[in-house]
């Protein structure tokens, strides 16, 4: 019988074919997997570090940032956005942006900034309704996000609080265009409005009229009752003038006791009627100061203009000249310079000839009458 024992010193038996290659390939594959795993771990670490940097950047940015997915659902809300909206990030994640951050235009209509952006609002200024119902003014932008395959993966909405700066800008603009005493337009704003009316008249042939008002005997009130009383008279007169006009008509204080009225889309007949209406309203106006009643009047120069409109300076010069015609004609009158260039006679009455009234150049400072109550009449 043959023995299966290995004789010491004899050569080893035959190896299994291909065994070393299999082991080598396995080791190489394991090495490759380990390298890939290490690379993935390195990449993951980089991604985590980048994510942390992005989060720190989001926290450091002064603007509110909301990140949404393709369905408009919030995936991130930075601290500034949470502060501006009143929503904590944890409370709004997964909710649609439109249900959390409510934007409205200047008319109070809801806006879908994801679809329309902020550019649909004038100057991109919109209102943001906070969670507590308070409203702030913001401007912002919407930037789409795309993946490596260029497919949309959502959007970034940025917005910042501009309430204080917007209000300051609007306040400065208001004061730049309005008279601080009466609240009416000032000379600068009125001349700009008059220029637009001239351009419309040239383009469309619309009829317009410029009325130049200079108060009669206003100096007497200042001299008798003081400048504080004179200022109050001008404020009350501004309200009175506004009431005589249509909504789209313009009235301005040019300076001192001089006012101007612009009647757009007006016929000469209508303009003359308005001029007379203003004159009557002023002459019937009784200003009471410390128990004394003061009466004034106004001289009005009117110039009609249409497609043959002159420049702003020329129109104001003509209206001013017609105002002096009314003054020279006896005051408290309307002198009209028609669109055809023809001057019409001044008409009206000199209220200084009323019983109890005295002329401005006399020593008496105002027209003093006892204040009459309905019971006294």
pLDDT at 146: 84
Query: What CATH number corresponds to the domain at position 265?
Result: 3.30.70.270
**Is 265 in the same domain as 304?**
yes
Residue 265 pLDDT level (bands cut at 50, 70, 90): very high
Domain presence at residue 248? yes
- Structure token pair of residue 272: 């003359």
pLDDT at 235: 97
pLDDT at 376: 32
pLDDT at 108: 80
Terminal alpha carbon distance of the chain: 158
Q: Is 222 left (phi over 0), alpha (psi -120 to 50) or beta?
A: alpha
**Is 76 in the same domain as 126?**
yes
Top pLDDT among 325 and 49 is at: 325
Domain presence at residue 11? no
pLDDT at 373: 27
Q: What is the DSSP string of 21-67?
A: HHHHHHHHHHHHHHHHHHHHHHHHHHHHHHHHHHHHHHHH-SSEEEE
pLDDT at 326: 94
Examine the residue annotation and report whether 257 is marked as an active-site residue of this protein. Answer: yes
**Is 156 in the same domain as 196?**
no
pLDDT at 348: 55
Among 168, 200, 233, residue at a domain's last position: 168
Residue 215 pLDDT level (bands cut at 50, 70, 90): very high
258-264 and 292-295 beta bridge pairing? unpaired
**Is 84 in the same domain as 186?**
no
SS3 track for 144-176:
EEECCCCCEEEEEEEEEECHHHHHHHHHHHHHH
**Is 164 in the same domain as 210?**
no
Domain presence at residue 258? yes
Domain presence at residue 231? yes
Give the range among 13-17, 211-215, 303-307 with minimum mean pLDDT: 13-17
List the catalytic residue out of 257, 307, 340, 363.
257
Query: What CATH number corresponds to the domain at position 125?
Result: 3.30.450.20
* Domain span including residue 89: 57-168
pLDDT at 139: 87
Top pLDDT among 232 and 28 is at: 232
**Is 192 in the same domain as 269?**
yes
| Whole-prediction pTM | 0.65
Question: Average of pLDDT values for 295-312?
Answer: 89
Give the range among 130-144, 185-199, 319-333 with minimum mean pLDDT: 130-144
**Is 318 in the same domain as 292?**
yes
Domain presence at residue 9? no
**Is 156 in the same domain as 187?**
no
pLDDT at 60: 56
Top pLDDT among 210 and 352 is at: 210
Output the average pLDDT for the chain.
81
pLDDT at 371: 28
Specify the number of domains making up the chain.
2
Q: What percent of the chain has pLDDT over 90?
A: 48
């Amino acid at each position: 019988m043959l023995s299966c024992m290995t004789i010491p010193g004899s050569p080893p038996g035959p190896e299994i074919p291909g065994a070393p290659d299999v082991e080598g390939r396995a080791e190489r594959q394991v090495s490759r997997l380990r390298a890939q795993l290490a690379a993935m771990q390195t990449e993951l670490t980089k991604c985590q570090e980048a994510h942390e940097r992005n989060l720190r950047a989001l926290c450091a940015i002064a603007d509110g940032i909301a990140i949404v997915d393709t369905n408009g659902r919030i995936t991130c809300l930075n601290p500034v956005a949470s502060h501006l909206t009143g929503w904590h990030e944890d409370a709004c994640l997964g909710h649609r942006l439109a249900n959390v951050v409510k934007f409205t235009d200047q008319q109070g209509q809801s806006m879908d900034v994801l679809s329309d952006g902020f550019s649909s609002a004038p100057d991109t200024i919109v209102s943001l309704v906070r969670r507590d119902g308070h409203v702030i003014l913001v401007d912002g932008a919407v930037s789409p996000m795309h993946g490596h395959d260029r497919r949309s993966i959502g959007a970034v909405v940025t917005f910042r609080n501009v309430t204080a700066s917007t209000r300051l800008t609007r306040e400065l603009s208001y004061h730049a265009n309005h008279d601080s005493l009466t609240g009416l337009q000032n000379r600068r704003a009125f001349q700009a409005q008059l220029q637009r009316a001239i351009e419309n008249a040239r383009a469309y042939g619309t009829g317009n009229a410029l009325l130049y008002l200079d108060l009669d005997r206003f100096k007497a009130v200042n001299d008798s009752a003081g400048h504080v009383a004179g200022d109050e008279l001008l404020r009350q007169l501004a309200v009175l003038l506004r009431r005589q006009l249509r909504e789209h008509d313009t009235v301005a204080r040019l300076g001192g006791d001089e006012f101007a009225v612009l009647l757009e889309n007006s016929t000469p007949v209508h303009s003359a009627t308005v001029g007379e209406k203003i004159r009557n309203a002023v002459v019937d106006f009784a200003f009471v100061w410390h128990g004394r009643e003061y009466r004034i009047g106004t001289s009005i120069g009117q110039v009609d203009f249409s497609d043959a409109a002159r420049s702003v300076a020329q129109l104001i010069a003509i209206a001013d000249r017609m105002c002096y015609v009314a003054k020279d004609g006896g005051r408290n009158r309307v002198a009209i310079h028609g669109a055809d260039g023809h001057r019409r006679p001044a008409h009206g009455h000199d209220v200084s000839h009323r019983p109890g009234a005295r002329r401005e150049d006399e020593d008496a400072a105002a027209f003093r009458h006892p204040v009459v109550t309905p019971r006294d009449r």
